[in-house]
Structure 1
Amino acid sequence: MIDLHTHSTRSDGTDAPADLLAQAAQAGLTTLAITDHDTTAGWDEAAEAAQRHGVALVRGAELSTRHRGRSVHLLAYLFDPADTPLAEEMRRMREDRVPRLQRIVEHMQDDGFAVTWEGVLAQVQEGAALGRPHLADALVAAGIATDRNEVFNRWLHNGSAYYEPHYAVDTAEAVALVRAAGGVPVVAHPFATKRQRALGADDVAALVEAGLVGIEAEHRDHDDDGRAFARQLAARHDLVVTGSSDFHGDGKDNRLGENTTTPESLERIVAAASGVTPVLG
């Protein structure tokens, strides 16, 4: 089984990269991708653990991008982490998360929430890319909510009064940057309407023109129509179809391997990459 979308403590997951690989082995996965938000910080730890646990590792990241005014997450696989233009954009995205999160904390404080910036930082592993889940963890630690799901459903969803935007590179530009860095860009959960505005057929066509290689079809936030539409667009544009768990550990209900990618799709991704190769378990 192949799961190509997971998160560790290097961004907003609750398991260390090495622990993710151990869990993947226990779950019977043959291949795992670690795709932390806008960072490659977990790659080295994950690579060592992959060899120890016998699980192949596809190194990647989930990039924060924006297309025609809407948030789009882009999975980037097997790119060269030393590629300067892509690394610089990822740095800008990570760094802008800090003032964004500070603004959200200030707004919540103004409304009487007993949350502090120090309390948020206490939830963050050293070197991790900050995100709203860390604020959610601080609210849970303060006894204001029971878990991350409650926090996001009530206060931190994209339509919330507390939502604040952060820097995001244009999606088509991000696709081109990933390709130039030898990587493989795959649009993540493009029809997950509960978390974002869905992309249209013309949007996907524009990203294909920029160099998009794949589309994540099998995802728990896609309904049957969304999955079917993703496969229809994949057939139209000869895109690689992927499936994944979007696992965050205790941060979400998602289970490792609940949606998977076929070996044939993985072969196409590896063949299209020239940045780094998978780490064999």
Structure 2
Amino acid sequence: MDILNADLHCHSTISDGTLEPEAVAARAKANGVELWALTDHDEIGGQQRAMAAAHDLGLPYLTGTEISVTFAATTVHIVGLGFDADDAALAAGLAATRGGRRERAQQMAEGLAKVGIKGSFEGALQYVGNPELISRTHFARFLVESGVCRDTSEVFRKYLVEGKPGYVPHRWAALGDAVRWISDAGGIAVIAHPGRYKFTPTEEFALFSEFIEHGGRGVEVVTGSHSRADFVKYADTAREFDLLVSRGSDFHGPGESHTDLGTLPDFANELTPVWSALEERILR
């Protein structure tokens, strides 16, 4: 297989990143990325800007997004790569998935207010380019900037995970719908950072099985939130389910992300990278 320093999972200000799409492109190029995709949450509004920036830099590009899915009462993320960014059904599906974020955010703010943290909804909005995409990350940034917590990890741990005052569950897209939107738009669906989900072995097997039944074809093996043990585990999972493998930093911004763009290790040579099935979709 072709060994590439591919980074096919990262975010910009279009969703919950801190850099504009053009700045993410420049950072990827500067860090030696050889194939890039911008994968903002439930949004493809930054794709034209990302494509243009990548073209100007001579950086090969794949269209991307990261769709929020509810599976077994857990939020799972499905990355789409190489799709038609003008596909109407994909755009409509993403718009429907985004729906409800604002109402959820207002409920989160009400929960935080009950423990003495006032004005968090308005505070979080300061960090959002599109109010439809307000998320826990934006609340976390506000709580850090206002001195409630030292860093975003502390915010999530104390306030924004299940059982904490600012946590509000949300019903996202169905797994089959998300995979179908991506596939019908000519792209490939990839399970993002599977090591992050707290599934039992039975639940994880069900996730991969159903994903494949719906037409899913890939899994992130090397990603910023995976340990080296996870690299090995999900390489084995890719072999077991005959899946293409992907890699991506899940970069959100300097000083905020564990892994910078372009700094991931390679995966095992015998695995088949997702970009080998998307050669005709790479924009050069």
Deviation of 1:224 (Å)? 3.9
**Aligned partners of 1:254 and 1:127: how far apart in 2?**
27
Aligned with residue 124 of structure 2, among 113, 120, 125 = 120
Contact map agreement 1:6 1:34 (CA 8 A) in 2? yes
CA shift, 1:161, in A, is 3.8
Q: Which residue of 2 aligns with 1:52?
A: 56
Provide the TM-score with structure 2 as the length reference.
Answer: 0.88
- For residues 130 and 178 of structure 2, the distance between their equivalents in structure 1, rounded to whole angstroms, comes to 27
Equivalent-residue separation in structure 2 for 1:20 and 1:156 (angstroms): 27
State whether structure 2 residue 236 is matched by structure 1 residue 228. Answer: no
> Does residue 19 of the first structure (1) align with residue 23 of the second (2)?
yes
Q: Distance between the aligned counterparts of 1:142 and 1:127, measured in 2?
A: 20
Percent identical among aligned pairs is 31
3-state SS of the aligned residue for 2:64?
strand
Aligned pair count reads: 274
Amino acid in the other structure paired with 1:108: L
Q: C-alpha offsets along residues 160-197 of structure 1, whole Å, 9 cap, x if unaligned?
A: 3421122311112311221112111000011224xx43
1:186-222 per-residue CA deviation (whole Å, 9 max, x = no partner) reads 00011224xx436522321221111111001112333
Q: Secondary structure at the match of 1:91?
A: helix
> For the structure 1 residues 171 and 159, does the alpha-carbon distance in structure 2 shift closer, same or farther, using more than 3 Å as the test?
farther
Q: Which residue of 2 aligns with 1:197?
A: 199
Task: Name the residue aligned to 1:67.
Answer: 71
From 1, 4, 7, the equivalent of 1:3 is 7
| Higher mean C-alpha displacement, 238-247 vs 119-128 | 119-128
User: Which of these residues, 216, 219, 223, is aligned with residue 223 of structure 2?
Assistant: 219
Q: Which SS does the other structure have where 1:35 is aligned?
A: coil
SS at match of 1:191: helix
Q: Does 1:210 align with 2:214?
A: yes
Query: Does the residue aligned with 1:90 lie in a helix, a strand or coil?
Result: helix
1:128 offset after TM fit, Å?
A: 7.0
Instruction: Kindly provide the amino acid, as one letter, of the partner of residue 253 in structure 1.
Output: H
Q: Which segment drifts farther, 7-16 or 200-209?
A: 200-209
User: Match of 1:48, as an amino acid?
Assistant: A
* Unmatched tracts of structure 2, length 5 or more: none
CA deviation profile, 1:37-90 (whole Å, cap 9, x unmatched): 000111111111112222112111000001232221000112223333332221
**One-letter identity of the residue aligned with 1:14:** T
Tell me if structure 1 keeps the 8 A contact 2:12–2:40: yes
Query: Structure 1 residue 97: deviation in Å?
Result: 1.1
Relative to structure 1, the CA distance from residue 158 to residue 58 in structure 2 (aligned partners, 3 Å threshold; closer, same or farther) is farther
Q: Which amino acid aligns with 2:28?
A: A
The whole-number CA distance in structure 2 between the counterparts of 1:101 and 1:111 is: 16
1:257 paired with 2:259, answer no
Deviation at 1:159, TM superposition (A): 4.9
Preserved CA contact (<8 Å) 1:3 1:261: no
Distance in 2 separating the partners of 1:177 and 1:137: 31
Separation in structure 1 between the aligned mates of residue 158 and residue 146 of structure 2, nearest angstrom? 16
Corresponding residue for residue 267 of structure 1? 275
CA distance in 1, matches of 2:263, 2:79: 18
1:184 pairs with 2:188: yes
- C-alpha contact (below 8 Å) 2:12/2:19 kept by paired residues: yes
Task: Work out whether 1:153 is the aligned partner of 2:161.
Answer: no
Deviation at 1:258, TM superposition (A): 2.8
Per-residue CA deviations over 1:6-35 (Å, capped at 9, x if unaligned) read: 001111111110000111111111111100
Letter in 1 for 2:214: A
- TM-score where L is the length of structure 1: 0.89
Distance of 1:260 and 1:233 partners within structure 2: 18
Query: Is the Cα–Cα contact under 8 Å of residues 245 and 260 in structure 1 kept in the other structure?
Result: no
**1:119–1:202 distance in 2 versus 1, CA, 3 Å:** closer
Answer whether contact 2:102 2:131 (CA < 8 A) is retained: no
